[in-house]
Amino acid sequence: AQTVTQSQPEMSVQEAETVTLSCTYDTSESDYYLFWYKQPPSRQMILVIRQEAYKQQNATENRFSVNFQKAAKSFSLKISDSQLGDAAMYFCASPFGNEKLTFGTGTRLTIIP
Amino acid sequence: GAGVSQTPSNKVTEKGKYVELRCDPISGHTALYWYRQSLGQGPEFLIYFQGTGAADDSGLPNDRFFAVRPEGSVSTLKIQRTERGDSAVYLCASSFTGGAGVTEAFFGQGTRLTVV
């Protein structure tokens, strides 16, 4: 079975500081995409960052970066210079080579002013 | 429209009633997905359309759930004889071609269904 695990139900960070959200997964596929999505109270899932498993270089999008460890099946998200607008639920997900995304249970991120 | 549109935004229905949830994908997107998100959980896959056909409906929980996309654009998720356990947020997403993440999936704001 293909699974995504987020072991941190809640995290908080001081504004302007850095926070890391953890994600581990299990799959027998060798080539797949991994995603971090942000879900604010509006409920709309917004793609934050995407990583291709065959690429060793970690993806970066402005203040967001990942630490992808394929052998360990770990995919953590680092948010630098945290801003109040970053407060949301964050979900790790992957389609694991097919069309349907498998999501983790999410991490609620709170930004402390 | 500019994004994926879902209507209604909220729906309250009585147990045993029939409901329809609508999804308008981004124009030109051939792939369309439905997910269900229960309180405190991540979304769970229900069904995937490629064009007009349901390419994967393995996530539909039982035969009370059915979805259509007759013209390859708008999709309707239909739930018969609703139960309190069907209460959740139903999310729709579309992508240009599908492809297991090759093209980005864009999500709507969901329909919050409450069965009382």
User: What does the pLDDT profile of chain B (116 residues) look like in tens digits?
Assistant: 589 999 999 999 999 999 999 999 999 999 999 999 999 999 999 999 999 999 999 999 999 999 999 999 999 999 999 999 999 999 999 999 877 777 889 999 999 999 99
Contact B43 A32 (CB under 8 A): no
Residue with tokens 């980005």: B104
Is A107 in the B-facing interface, judged by CB distances under 8 Å?
A: no
Contact A100 B33 (CB under 8 A): yes
Is B108 in the A-facing interface, judged by CB distances under 8 Å?
A: yes
- With 0-12 / 13-18 / 19 or more C-beta atoms within 10 angstroms meaning exposed / middle / buried, residue B93 is buried
Is B91 in the A-facing interface, judged by CB distances under 8 Å?
A: yes
| pLDDT given for residue B1 in this prediction | 54
A34 Cα distance to chain centroid: 8
Is B39 in the A-facing interface, judged by CB distances under 8 Å?
A: no
- A109 versus B102: which is more confidently predicted? A109
Question: Would you say A39 and A107 are in contact if contact means Cβ atoms under 8 Å apart?
Answer: no
Average pLDDT for A4-32: 96
A85 Cα distance to chain centroid: 16
* Region of residue B81 (left: phi > 0; alpha: psi -120 to 50; beta: else): left
Contact B31 A99 (CB under 8 A): yes
Confidence of residue A113 (pLDDT cuts 50, 70, 90): very high
Is B104 in the A-facing interface, judged by CB distances under 8 Å?
A: yes
Buried b (16+ CB within 10 A) or exposed e, B40-68: eebbbbbbbbbeeebebeebbeeeebebe
Q: Which residue of B has its CA nearest to A45?
A: B107
- To test the contact with chain A by mutation, choose from B32, B41, B47, B95 the residue with the greatest count of A C-beta atoms within 10 A, namely B41
